[in-house]
Structure 1
Amino acid sequence: MLKVGLTGSIGTGKSTVASIFKELGAYVIDADEVVHKLLKRKDIKEKIRKEFGDVFTPEGEIDRKKLASIVFNNPEKKKKLEQILHPEVFKEIEKFFKQVEEKDPNAVAIADVPLMIETGSYKNYYPVIVVYAPPEVQLERLIKRGMDKEDALRRIKSQMPIEEKVKYADIVIDNTGSLQDLRKKVEEVYEKLKKMAANN
């Protein structure tokens, strides 16, 4: 089985690439979805209550916006949150890989992880795929999604520059063209991955 890492930056089209891989038959786990589920777990809620105080909705769920506004401008708090969540995310990803391998030993299994390079966990995957779009295209896409320019720029600047991420990639999928172009590129990469999985 091939354990593929997929990453990119905000506005590069990583989620679109992940969903095309899925359509083509790859097994995909999305780290963001894993985090959503973790934030509903009782033990995680307790840890977050201890560390961050009242960041809960009246229904007792974690208010993601409140939590995000605390960690976004505070590196210390961000680190604390990552220490709570990241080990659990990696456990879930490993569990996912194990289940896929039992079911389909020649599978192409992809972990879609936004902070793979920043956390160093990219070393757990081969190949590492980075979805690329230049910063001006990222900005344009975020504004199209309804973000205001200031906010969009702040988001882009808060992440590791995409040019930097590309240096860690075994495969780069350039997403500056149309959706059709992108689909074609992903299909070509998937054919390569299937061959790699078969020879693994």
Structure 2
Amino acid sequence: MLLIGLTGNYGMGKSTVLSMFRKCGAYTLGADEIVRELLEKPYVKKKIKKIFGNDFFCPNDRINKEKIAAAIFSDSSLRTELENILHPLVLKKISAEIKKAQKEYSIAIIEIPLLFEKNYENIFDKTITVFTTKKEAIRRLEKKGINKTDAIMRLKTQLPVKEKIRKSDFTIDNSKTPELTKKAVEKLYENLLKEATHGNN
């Protein structure tokens, strides 16, 4: 199995591209999806409460994600503490899911937003960065209900996308139409499939 790490900055369209790869036939998994599941686990909530306190939880004991997001994007030490709780659990889950999928799939594409920031690229055979313009990324984030100031703040917490492009084996330009992005994904998947098949021979 060829293991691919997919990344890009906020609002760049990582999840959209991941979905396109899934439709091509790749096994796909998103770190954000795993995090959402983990945040429902009692033992994870307990650890988060120790750092943030009860004020960051709703009356039904669900985590107030908006409040947590506001805190971690304005305080790097809090962000690091939360990452130290979640990231090892995310990597453990990814490893377990890949083991299950490797007999059935030739290619696994794992979406990890902080792939290069946390030096996780060495886990993967190849890496892909999805990119668009900063202006377009902010527009997409605003469309999701994130105001411009917060959108800019979030983008500043990540490596500049130009740096991610430089570090990546492949890139997907998601700044134009969905049709052009889809064509780029299909072409790259075809090449990756050839590499995966060749590697198994």
Same fold (TM over 0.5): yes
Q: Secondary structure of the residue that 2:116 maps to in structure 1? A: helix
AA aligned to 1:119 is K
Residues 173, 185 of structure 1: 8 Å contact kept: yes
- Structure-2 residue corresponding to 1:52: 52
Give 1:146 deviation, angstroms. Answer: 4.6
Compute the displacement of 1:58 (Å): 0.8
Please state how far the C-alpha of 1:43 moved relative to its aligned partner.
Answer: 1.1
- 1:145 deviates by 4.2
- What secondary structure is seen at the aligned counterpart in 2 of 1:82? helix
| Partner deviation per Cα, 1:35-85 (whole Å, 9 max, x = no partner) | 000111111111111122112111111111222222221111111111100
> Structure 1 pair 147/56, CA: closer, same or farther in 2 (3 Å)?
closer
Gaps in structure 1 of 5+ consecutive residues: none
- 2:168 partner SS: coil
Report the Cα distance in structure 1 between the residues aligned to 2:131 and 2:19, rounded to whole angstroms.
Answer: 16
Partners of 2:50 and 2:141 lie apart in 1 by 34
Paired with 1:11 and 1:84, the residues of 2 have a C-alpha distance of 24
Aligned to 2:62: 61
- CA separation of 1:39/1:152 partners in 2, compared to 1, >3 Å: closer, same or farther? same
Aligned counterparts of 1:185 and 1:75: Cα–Cα separation in 2: 35
The equivalent of 2:139 in structure 1 is 140
Instruction: Indicate the larger mover: 85-94 or 59-68.
Output: 59-68
Q: What is the letter of the counterpart of residue 89 of structure 2?
A: E
Aligned runs of 1:26-37 on 2, under 5 Å?
Answer: 26-37=26-37
1:94 aligns with 2:64: no
Using the size of structure 1 for normalisation, the TM-score is: 0.93
Amino acid of the structure 2 residue aligned with 1:36: R
Q: Which AA in structure 1 matches 2:76?
A: P
TM-score by length of 2: 0.92
- Measured in 1, the distance between the counterparts of 2:148 and 2:83 equals 27
Aligned partners of 1:153 and 1:7: how far apart in 2? 18
Structure 2 alignment gaps of length 5 or more: none
Give the distance between the partners of 1:142 and 1:31, measured in 2 at CA: 19
User: Kindly tell me: are residues 82 and 61 of structure 1, through their superposed partners in 2, closer, same or farther at Cα, counting changes over 3 Å?
Assistant: same
Given that residues 73 and 79 in structure 2 are in contact (C-alpha distance below 8 angstroms), is that contact kept between their aligned partners in structure 1?
yes
Cα distance in 1 for residues equivalent to 2:75 and 2:148: 22
2:30/2:110 contact within 8 Å kept:
yes
Residue identity matched to 2:129: V
What SS does the corresponding residue of 1:116 show, helix, strand or coil?
A: coil
Write the letter of the residue equivalent to 1:149: K
Q: Does 1:117 align with 2:116?
A: yes
Residues 169-180 of structure 1 mapped to structure 2, 5 A cutoff: 169-180=168-179
| 1:185 to 2:162 alignment | no
Aligned length: 198
Give the letter for the 1:63 counterpart: N
